[in-house]
Amino acid sequence: MISLTPTDEQQMLVETVRRFSAEVVRPAAHDADERGAFPERVVQTGWELGILPGSIPEQLGGFAEEYSAITGALAYEELAYGDLALALQVMTPALVAVPLLLAGTDEQRASGIEQFLDGAPPAVTAALLEPAISFDPLQPKTLATLDDEGCYLLNGSKAYVPLADGATSILVYAWNAEAGQVDGFFVAGDAEGLTIGPREKLMGLRALPMNRLALDNVRVSPAQRLGGEAGIDFPAILAHSRVALAALAVGVMRASLDYAIDYAKEREQFGAPIATKQAIAFMLAECAIEIDAARLMAWEAAWKLDQGEDASKEAYLAKEYAAKAALTVTDAAVQTLGGHGYIREHPVERWLRDARGFAAFEGLAIV
């Protein structure tokens, strides 16, 4: 049976996050973008919503029956409705927690999950993207090679690593030359050979601190390889990431459309609200269709993941679709506001800058 009604629990989560986004995030978002950071209190309140602990299974100390990509998609949409940078910041610990849940060995999970159940977010993050035009998440240039003593040596550079400065542990994805696959390695924040580079200066997401990393013969033990001896099924992790990205994009789109609708119904030209003109109304209608389509694609992929099926294709299409639609919709919102949309006082230009990022985030492992 096809049903698009979330469970009562999911509905409650959605409402909680929605309230947080409207009441706490939105009023702080403009200044955060200008100043380059959200106030600590906003981030902490976001963490206290308990989205991540709520997605960790009970047997590991969390509050979920089992990990659910659908529940995640619902929460991420609402977070991004508030602000994308804040959403990514609040969920940065998930970059480590979710791969641990999906691919960690029992031992890694037993020792690694507890930190996510604390009152404050743990200072952990993950590094996947690289500073290259032709970056391919399935073929990262960062290399992991074995040394004589059976340890891995990591070499390469990473980009856009959220909250890297001050992180105690970073999950670094690299091409495992010996195994012939992408693997994840836990690198301590103060590991020898690891340099945290300067903060990234980006078009959007300006409130989220991100850094480049340089890895020069960073040595990690085999126990620090995610998934232990077998390593990981990286495409499966990527599928979860893509669904999450698609859901985040839907949140940004919805924010833009709602704002543009309100504006178009208020703004009068030629003696009537501009929303009464088909030129504006049709643009907004098309945005509404794209948003619903993008959400359904994200949900379908998430549902398939939750069924334990291979959803690589669905997740890929959902993410590609959402990335394109996000640009269309946020651009239409700026266009609806005309000159006013171009002024930083209104949030639509920020959403357009944020949304363009989805094309670049290919595989940014936000899960």
Partner 1 sequence: MAISFNIPEKLQQGLQMTEAVAKAVMREESRKLDENEHQRPATFISMMWPVLREQQKRQLDRPSGERKREGPGSFNLNMVLTFEILSWGDVGQMLCLPTALLAGAAIEAVGTPEQKERFLRRFAEGDAPAWGAMAMTEPGAGSDTSAIQTTATLDPATNEWVLNGEKIFCTNGKLALDESDGIVVVWATIDRSAGRAGMKPFVVEADTPGVTVEKVEIKHGIRASDTASIVFRDARIPYENLLGSAEVRRPEVTTMGFKGAMATFDASRPLIAASAIGVGRAALEFVKEKLAGEGIKIPYDQPYHNLSAVQRDVIEMEMQLKAAWLLTLRAASLIDHGLQNNLEASMAKTKAGKAVTAITQKAVELLGPLGYSREWLVEKWMRDAKINDIYEGTGQINTLIVARRILGYGSRELR
Q: Which residues are catalytic?
A: 362
Q: Can you tell me which residue has the tokens 């994308």? A: 84
Q: Between vectors from CA 262 to CA 258 and to CA 265, what angle results, nearest 5°?
A: 140
Cβ-based nearer residue to partner 1, 118 or 286? 286
Please give the backbone phi and psi of residue 219, each rounded to the nearest 5 degrees, phi first: -100, 125
* Span of 100-108, 145-153, 179-187, 286-294 interacting with partner 1 by CB under 8 A: 286-294
Cβ-based nearer residue to partner 1, 115 or 312? 312
- Give yes or no for residue 294 binding partner 1 (CB under 8 A): yes
DSSP 81-137: HH-HHHHHHHHTTHHHHHHHHHH--HHHHHHHSGGGGSSS--SEEEE---S-TT--T
Cβ-based nearer residue to partner 1, 4 or 180? 4
Residue numbers 53-72 binding partner 1 by CB under 8 A: 70
Cβ-based nearer residue to partner 1, 223 or 285? 285
Closest CA to 270 of 282, 260, 257, 280: 280
- Give yes or no for residue 296 binding partner 1 (CB under 8 A): yes
Total Cβ atoms within 10 A of residue 65:
10
Residues 68-107: x where in contact with partner 1 by CB under 8 A, - otherwise, as a string: --x-------------------------------------
> Number of residues in contact with partner 1, rule: CB under 8 A?
51
Q: Which of 297, 332, 352, 367 binds partner 1 (CB under 8 A)?
A: 297
Q: Which of 238, 253, 332, 355 binds partner 1 (CB under 8 A)?
A: 238
210 alpha carbon, distance to own chain's centre: 13
User: Smallest distance from the beta carbon of 10 to partner 1, in angstroms?
Assistant: 8
User: What residues does 174 pair with on adjacent strands?
Assistant: 183
Pair 82, 21: CB distance under 8 Å: yes
Q: Which of 152, 160, 175, 299 binds partner 1 (CB under 8 A)?
A: 299
Cβ-based nearer residue to partner 1, 25 or 252? 252
Q: Which of 153, 188, 191, 293 binds partner 1 (CB under 8 A)?
A: 293
User: Smallest distance from the beta carbon of 33 to partner 1, in angstroms?
Assistant: 27
SS3 319: helix
Pair 43, 121: CB distance under 8 Å: yes
Residue numbers 305-334 binding partner 1 by CB under 8 A: 312-314, 316-317, 320-321
Cβ-based nearer residue to partner 1, 145 or 312? 312
- Give yes or no for residue 278 binding partner 1 (CB under 8 A): yes
Could you tell me the two tokens for 244?
Answer: 């999450």
88 alpha carbon, distance to own chain's centre: 5
Q: Can you tell me which residue has the tokens 């995640």? A: 72
Closest CA to 102 of 171, 189, 42, 167: 171
User: Smallest distance from the beta carbon of 2 to partner 1, in angstroms?
Assistant: 4
Distances (CA, A) of 213 to 24, 155, 194, 198, 260: 32, 10, 7, 9, 39
Residues 4-43: x where in contact with partner 1 by CB under 8 A, - otherwise, as a string: xxxx--x---------------------------------
Query: Which residues, 6 or more positions from 305, have their beta carbon under 8 angstroms from its beta carbon?
Result: 69, 239, 240, 243, 311, 315
User: Smallest distance from the beta carbon of 319 to partner 1, in angstroms?
Assistant: 10
User: Smallest distance from the beta carbon of 206 to partner 1, in angstroms?
Assistant: 24
SS3 163: coil
User: Smallest distance from the beta carbon of 265 to partner 1, in angstroms?
Assistant: 7
- Distance, first Cα to last Cα, the chain: 27
Q: Which spans of this chain sit near partner 1 (rule: CB under 8 A)? A: 1-7, 10, 70, 133-138, 235, 238, 257, 261, 264-265, 275-276, 278, 281-282, 284-286, 288-290, 292-294, 296-297, 299-300, 303-304, 312-314, 316-317, 320-321, 359, 362-363
